[in-house]
Amino acid sequence: CFQMPVALLSSTFLSNLPSLHHFSNQDSIPHIALLASGGGQRAAVGLVGFLYQMEKEGLLDTLLYLGGVSGSTWSMSSLYSDPQWSTNMDRAVSRLSGPGVELEQVLAWLGDRAKEEHFSLADIWAVLTSAVIMKQMDLRHLSDEASRNATNPYPIYSAIEKKCFSDGPIEGKWFEVSPHEAGFTEMGVFVETSLLGSKFQSGELLEVTPEMDMVRLQGVCLQVEQSALLESKSLEERKSIFQQWSLELLAAVETWSQSLEDGAFKTHGQCKHPNWSILLTTDAFHLRDLNEMEMPLFNVFPPVSLLTKQVLPLILKWEWGTTKNFLYQYQGLTIPPCLQSKEKLHLVDAGLLINVAYPPFLGDKRDIDLMIAPEFSAGNMFEVLLPLTTTTKGKRTPQM
């Protein structure tokens, strides 16, 4: 399934570099991958700046693949919403400095998600990342990219499976998602991207679930893994953290609403909400109290009531997202127990394992000749190379 985009991108490379006569055919064209590191908002903005300068230097057309983890995937998702982004990086840069997403649009998306079975903090994380940092709500599907003209580098998003990351073999850890397929890199086991999240058992498709949009994909597959932070905490410690997060959430909603120039919320933007402190009392931990509260904000803008009542219980329970496991009870291959016995996958930030998406680009599958790996994280820029001693053993390793 990768032969078509690779061939089309190679043709683009040849047409854009007519002076390089020694690249006489597609077989002689070097396969170059840009692998952006994680690093939160710094990585998201840094990748846009890096690609912007590559375009100005006439180098962006040489990229065959673009891979990312953690924060860099935020900007990848935003970039690919424009079918021609690689030919006009000015649009991507201007979007970052432009107006944010309207609060009503965010609340409408969350309202739809809240009606679904697996609504979780991953959805909250995803929508805030999209709306606040990337200034965009991308509702397209990743599989749509498979049928587009190949003018942009082929995108590959990475995550890791939490259970296998904790106590499973290396083969069950790294998970990649591309426009064509999603699955485990080391095992070479994949499902069509449009079916990621559908119900499988013993290799049989039992129920097709509508493909998740790019906002939710960021939440389910690319969420920052914070659940381990509270797993060992006592209930009292959770309550303390809950109170802090609640205050920050409510303050963020108020600040965001007051910054909007238009919309239903602006009408009430100057009203004060002294009763917000009620949410931070011990009684607020009883979910029935949330439903019984009467607050000025709830009365003037009911969607915020929905947001608050849905989000605060999720913070208390610390529920992060999962997706259905297409390898559940699969018997055809040697599947690690951490995958075969679980009905759901818990995909989390790949930066916990390696903060650069090296694994999908090693070996013969994509036949990479050169990897460009800009480092945007706050740590030692060479520390990401240490885990590669295990990952690259016995594999073809391209130049870096």
Delineate the domains of the chain, giving CATH numbers in brackets: 3-226+346-391 (3.40.1090.10), 231-317 (no CATH)
pLDDT band for position 110 (cuts 50, 70, 90): confident
Mapping DSSP onto H, E and C, the string for 132-183 reads HHCCCCCCCCHHHHHHCCCCCCEEEEEEEEHHHHHHCCHHHCEEEECCCEEE
Of the listed ranges 10-14, 264-268, 332-336, the one predicted with least confidence: 264-268
Q: Are 8 and 347 in contact (CB under 8 A)?
A: no
Residue with tokens 């049989």, as numbered in its chain: 204
Q: Are 238 and 275 in contact (CB under 8 A)?
A: no
> What is the pLDDT at residue 181?
95
Mean pLDDT of the 356-385 span: 83
Mean pLDDT computed over every residue of the chain: 76
Q: Are 223 and 321 in contact (CB under 8 A)?
A: yes
* Distances 253 to 66, 114, 265, 317 between C-alpha atoms, Å: 34, 18, 10, 21
All residues at 6 or more sequence positions from 389 whose CB lies less than 8 Å from its CB, including other chains: none
Residue 128: which H helix or E strand, with range?
A: helix 121-128
Nearest to 312, CA basis, from 171, 124, 129: 124
Per-residue pLDDT tens digits for 182-201: 999 999 999 999 999 999 99
> What is the pLDDT at residue 211?
92
Please, what is the Cα angle at 40 between 373 and 380, to 5 degrees? Answer: 50
> What is the pLDDT at residue 333?
76
Task: With H, G, I as helix, E, B as strand and everything else as coil, classify residue 104.
Answer: helix
Q: Give pTM, 2 decimals.
A: 0.78
Per-residue pLDDT tens digits for 204-244: 999 999 999 999 888 876 665 555 455 545 656 656 655 66
